[in-house]
Amino acid sequence: MELRGHNHPNEKTMQFPELKYNFNYSILHIDGNTSIAYYDVGRGKSTIIFIHGLSSYIPAWIKLIPHLQDRFRCIAVDLPGYGKSSAGVHDGTPIFYSNIISKFIDKLKLTNITLAGHSMGGQIVIASALQLTSLISRLVLLAPAGFEAFSEEEKFLIKKYNTQQLYYSAADDDIIANFRSNFFKMTDDVKPMIYDRIKMKGWKNFSDYCKVVARSLNGLLDYPVYDRLKDISQPTLIFFGKNDRWIPNKNLHKNITTEEIARNGALQIPNSKLIMIDECGHFVPYEHPIIVAKEIELFLS
């Protein structure tokens, strides 16, 4: 079942029915408990499915998609527990998300698929590519999680501080600082995302959302992909910003650079191309959409 438009009869089942999108989106029922909100524009022989990062949502792609939709069908999704997809709490593992993506592809009968993922979405894309080899033709990884490996002790330390309460109690100034840290130079067009995140604190499902975010990060740690990068069979395009402040983890890996993480990961993937972008932070598709779009167009042609 698919519903389209700005408002849907099933808004009560959404994680954030209060959230307002200034674009038309659709709702696809995956199973009895799960529905996916998605933005679907453009046309072409290839379809690009965009998977957002931790604490993010469909608008993360809103600057990139206009540069691609004349050549490709572009579909950006809210993962379950995020944005306007189904409410509730789940285990947040890449395997869970990969299974949802598989069902989404099957329901829409999509073919010739490129999966594009940013940050957490990058690791989800990698897990999906390994699990859904016959479904996925190509990968685009933008500052992907999964290229940086953590020891068991490091995982324990991250999990100790990565709690539901950490996200629930964040002050407005903390939220703004967190957004700023994702960019080499944050511009005013980021403000709507900041305002959304601040307003979320007053919404009814915010506590569940914080739990989903915490579990999603723990899921990345519990299902590492670095040792399996060599098994990726699909052609893969990789982007990193040279000024990324999130990869590597600055508290645990002070002596490793972003470029080392990027190159070491790219070397593991047999058929891959790495692009390092100057004056670019972690939020690659939002900070340099024109560069990213041009490279994706070349890659897919």
Output the domain CATH number for residue 87.
3.40.50.1820
Chunked into runs of 10 residues, the chain (301 residues) has average pLDDT values of 46 90 95 94 95 98 98 98 96 95 97 98 98 95 97 96 96 97 97 97 97 97 97 98 97 96 98 98 98 98 89
Count Cβ neighbours within 10 Å for each residue of 104-142 and write b for 16 or more, e otherwise: bbeebeeeebbbbbbbbbbbbbbbbbbebeebbbbbbbb
- Can you give the pLDDT at residue 83? 97
* 3-class SS of residue 201: coil
Give the DSSP letter of residue 259. Answer: H
- CA atoms of 198 and 262, how far apart (whole Å): 32
- CA atoms of 257 and 275, how far apart (whole Å): 15
- Can you give the pLDDT at residue 8? 52
- What residues make up the domain containing 207? 2-300
- Can you give the pLDDT at residue 10? 59
**270-296 pLDDT, tens digit each:** 999 999 999 999 999 999 999 999 999
Could you tell me how far CA 191 lies from the centroid of its own chain?
19
How much of the chain, in percent, has pLDDT values that exceed 90? Answer: 94
- CA atoms of 48 and 284, how far apart (whole Å): 17
- Can you give the pLDDT at residue 13? 87
- CA atoms of 86 and 74, how far apart (whole Å): 21
- Can you give the pLDDT at residue 169? 96
Tell me how many domains the chain contains. Answer: 1
